[in-house]
C-alpha cells in the first residue's frame, strides 16, 4: 500500500469509531432495558456498566491496535493470541452473519425510514423496500470502491449529522423541557430477581455500545497508526458514552421510567413531546441518517478482515488484494456486497434470529481478545507498544471477565434457540475449517 492510501487522520478515525458504535440501537434498546429494569437506579447503573465495559474494551483494543496495526485488526489479534482456528471462527461469523446480515437488516431499516419520510402516504412493498436497501448497499460499496477516503468522508458527514440530531434531543429533553408533560406511569417491579434481570439486560446494552473495533480492520489506512489508532478508539468510546448517558437522561426526564418501559415507541414519544408536531419527522430523519452512517462504517471497514483471511490462506486469494493507489479492497468489497444482497431477500425474522445468536457468540471473542493481550505482553515483550493500557492488567482482565459473565449469563438465562443457534454457527465453522483451509491454502513464500 502506498503512502497515498494512508489518508485517514485522527479526526477521521475518531468519527469512524463513533459511527461504528452509534447505530439505531440507542433509539430502541432503552425501552427493552427499562422493561427489565424499571427502577432508575439499576437502569442507569447498567448503562454506566456498559460504558465501563466499552472503556475496558477500548483500552484493550487500543494497545493491541497500536502494537499490531495491520489489516483485519481484531482478526489479527485473535490469530496472534490463539492461532488460525480461533481467528477463522471469528471471521466465519463475521463473514456469514455479523457484518453481512447486520448490513442487510440496517439497510432495510434505513430504506423504511426514507420511504416514511419522503412518501408518508405510501406503504412500500417488500420489493420496493428491499430494492431501495439494495441500492444503498450498492451505493456505499461503490463509494468505498473508489477509495477508502471516499467512504470515510461519507461516514464523517453521516456521523456529524447524527451528533447534531442527538444533541437536539438531549438539549430539548434536558435543557428546554419543563415537564412533566405526561402523567408519570407507575413503575411495576417484575417478579424475576434483580440479578437475573440485570444479566438479561446486559446483552442489549453491550450490543448498543459495540463497534469500536471497526477502525482496527483498516489500520494501515490511518496516518501514524501506532499512535493515532489508540487515541481514536479511546476518544470515540468516551464520546459515545457521554452521548448515550445524556440521551438516556433525556428519555427518563421527559417520559419517566414508566414511560420509557411501557411506551410503544419511546423515541417517538420523546420527539413528539419535546419537538412538537414535526418531532416524529425529525426522528425518522435522524434514525435514517444514523442507520446510513452505521451501514457506511461497517461496509467500508469490514473487508479488512477478508483481506487478512486471504493472506492467511483462509479465503480466496484475490480477496487479499488492494488497489495500488486507493488501497480499496475491491474484491473483498464485491464479495461482501453480494452476501448482503442474499440476506436482503431473507425474511426479517431469520436475520434477527441469526443476529441475536451470533451477538452472543461474538462475546466469546471479546473475552479472548483480553486474554490475547495478556499473552502477548508475556510472550512478546520485544514488540513496540506506543500505547499501554493504564493500570495494566486491570482493563484486559476486567474486559475478559465481563465478556465471560455475558457468555455464561446468557447461556443460563437466554432461550436455547438463541444461544444454541450461535454455538451451532461456531460448530459449523469448526467442521469446515480444515477443508476450507486446504481449499484456500497459500503456497509457501507466496502472498496474495
Q: Please check whether residue 444 lies inside any domain of the structure.
A: no
Percent of the chain with pLDDT over 70: 90
What is the pLDDT, as a whole number, of residue 182? 47
Q: Please check whether residue 160 lies inside any domain of the structure.
A: yes
What is the pLDDT, as a whole number, of residue 355? 63
What is the pLDDT, as a whole number, of residue 86? 95
What is the pLDDT, as a whole number, of residue 179? 57
pLDDT digits (tens, 9 = 90+) for 13-29: 999 999 999 988 888 88
What is the pLDDT, as a whole number, of residue 183? 45
Q: Please check whether residue 385 lies inside any domain of the structure.
A: yes
- Flag the least confident range among 12-21, 71-80, 146-155, 174-183: 174-183
What is the pLDDT, as a whole number, of residue 189? 57
Q: Please check whether residue 162 lies inside any domain of the structure.
A: yes
Q: Please check whether residue 304 lies inside any domain of the structure.
A: yes
Mean pLDDT of the chain: 86
What is the pLDDT, as a whole number, of residue 29? 87
Question: Which CATH number goes with the domain that contains 45?
Answer: 1.20.1740.10
* Cβ 237 vs Cβ 399: under 8 Å: no
Q: Please check whether residue 431 lies inside any domain of the structure.
A: yes
Q: Please check whether residue 448 lies inside any domain of the structure.
A: no
Task: Say whether pLDDT at 32 is over 90.
Answer: no
Q: Helices 394-413 and 416-439 sit at what angle, rounded to 10 degrees?
A: 120
Average pLDDT of span 276-304? 91
8: which strand partners? 222
* Cβ 314 vs Cβ 437: under 8 Å: yes
Going by C-beta distance under 8 Å and a sequence separation of 6 or more, which residues neighbour residue 3?
A: none
Average pLDDT of span 357-362? 74
- Domains: count for the chain: 1
Q: Please check whether residue 337 lies inside any domain of the structure.
A: yes
What is the pLDDT, as a whole number, of residue 448? 47
What is the pLDDT, as a whole number, of residue 131? 93
What is the pLDDT, as a whole number, of residue 420? 77
Residue whose entry in the numeric block shows the C-alpha cell 470515510: 152
Domain that holds residue 267: 3-439
Name the CA radius of gyration of the chain, rounded.
21
pLDDT digits (tens, 9 = 90+) for 334-353: 999 999 999 888 766 666 66
What pTM, to 2 d.p., does this model score?
Answer: 0.88
Say which residue, 185 or 271, is predicted with more confidence. 271
Average pLDDT of span 97-107? 87
What is the pLDDT, as a whole number, of residue 446? 55
What is the pLDDT, as a whole number, of residue 413? 65
Task: Tell me the C-alpha distance between 261 and 238, whole Å.
Answer: 26
- Flag the least confident range among 34-48, 249-263, 279-293: 249-263
Amino acid at each position: 500500500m502506498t503512502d497515498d492510501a494512508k489518508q485517514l487522520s485522527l479526526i477521521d478515525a475518531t468519527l469512524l469509531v463513533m459511527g461504528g458504535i452509534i447505530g439505531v440501537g440507542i433509539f430502541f434498546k432503552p425501552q427493552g432495558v427499562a422493561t427489565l429494569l424499571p427502577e432508575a437506579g439499576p437502569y442507569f447503573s447498567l448503562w454506566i456498566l456498559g460504558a465501563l465495559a466499552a472503556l475496558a474494551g477500548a483500552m484493550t483494543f487500543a494497545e493491541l491496535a497500536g502494537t499490531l496495526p495491520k489489516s483485519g485488526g481484531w482478526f489479527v489479534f485473535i490469530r496472534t493470541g490463539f492461532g488460525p482456528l480461533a481467528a477463522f471462527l471469528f471471521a466465519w461469523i463475521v463473514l456469514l452473519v455479523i457484518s453481512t446480515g447486520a448490513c442487510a437488516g440496517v439497510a432495510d431499516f434505513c430504506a423504511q425510514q426514507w420511504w416514511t419520510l419522503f412518501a408518508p402516504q405510501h406503504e412500500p412493498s417488500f420489493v420496493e423496500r428491499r430494492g431501495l436497501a439494495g441500492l444503498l448497499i450498492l451505493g456505499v460499496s461503490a463509494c468505498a470502491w473508489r477509495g477508502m477516503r471516499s467512504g470515510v468522508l461519507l461516514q464523517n458527514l453521516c456521523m456529524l449529522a447524527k451528533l447534531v440530531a442527538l444533541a437536539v434531543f438531549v438539549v430539548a429533553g434536558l435543557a428546554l423541557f419543563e415537564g412533566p408533560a405526561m402523567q408519570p406511569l407507575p413503575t411495576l417491579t417484575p417478579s424475576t430477581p434483580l440479578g437475573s434481570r440485570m444479566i438479561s439486560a446486559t446483552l442489549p446494552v453491550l450490543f448498543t455500545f459495540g463497534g469500536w473495533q471497526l477502525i482496527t480492520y483498516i489500520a494501515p489506512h490511518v496516518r501514524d497508526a501506532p499512535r493515532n489508532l489508540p487515541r481514536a478508539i479511546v476518544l470515540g468510546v468516551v464520546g459515545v458514552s457521554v452521548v448515550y448517558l445524556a440521551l438516556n437522561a433525556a428519555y427518563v426526564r421527559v417520559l419517566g421510567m414508566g414511560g420509557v418501559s411501557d411506551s410503544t415507541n419511546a423515541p417517538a414519544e420523546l420527539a413528539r413531546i419535546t419537538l412538537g408536531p414535526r418531532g416524529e419527522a425529525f426522528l425518522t430523519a435522524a434514525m435514517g441518517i444514523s442507520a446510513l452512517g452505521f451501514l457506511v462504517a461497517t461496509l467500508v471497514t469490514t473487508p479488512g478482515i477478508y483481506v487478512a483471511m486471504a493472506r492467511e490462506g483462509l479465503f480466496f486469494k484475490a480477496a487479499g488484494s488492494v488497489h495500488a493507489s486507493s488501497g480499496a479492497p475491491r474484491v473483498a468489497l464485491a464479495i461482501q456486497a453480494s452476501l448482503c444482497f442474499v440476506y436482503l431477500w431473507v425474511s426479517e425474522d431469520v436475520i434477527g434470529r441469526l443476529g441475536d445468536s451470533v451477538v452472543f457468540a461474538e462475546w466469546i471473542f471479546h473475552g479472548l481478545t483480553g486474554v490475547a493481550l495478556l499473552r502477548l505482553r508475556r510472550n512478546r515483550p520485544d514488540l513496540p507498544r506506543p500505547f499501554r493500557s493504564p493500570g495494566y492488567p486491570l482493563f484486559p482482565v476486567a474486559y475478559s471477565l465481563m465478556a465471560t459473565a455475558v457468555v455464561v449469563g446468557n447461556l443460563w438465562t437466554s432461550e436455547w434457540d438463541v444461544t444454541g443457534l450461535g454455538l451451532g454457527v461456531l460448530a459449523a465453522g469448526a467442521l469446515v475449517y480444515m477443508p476450507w483451509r486446504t481449499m484456500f491454502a497459500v503456497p509457501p513464500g507466496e502472498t496474495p
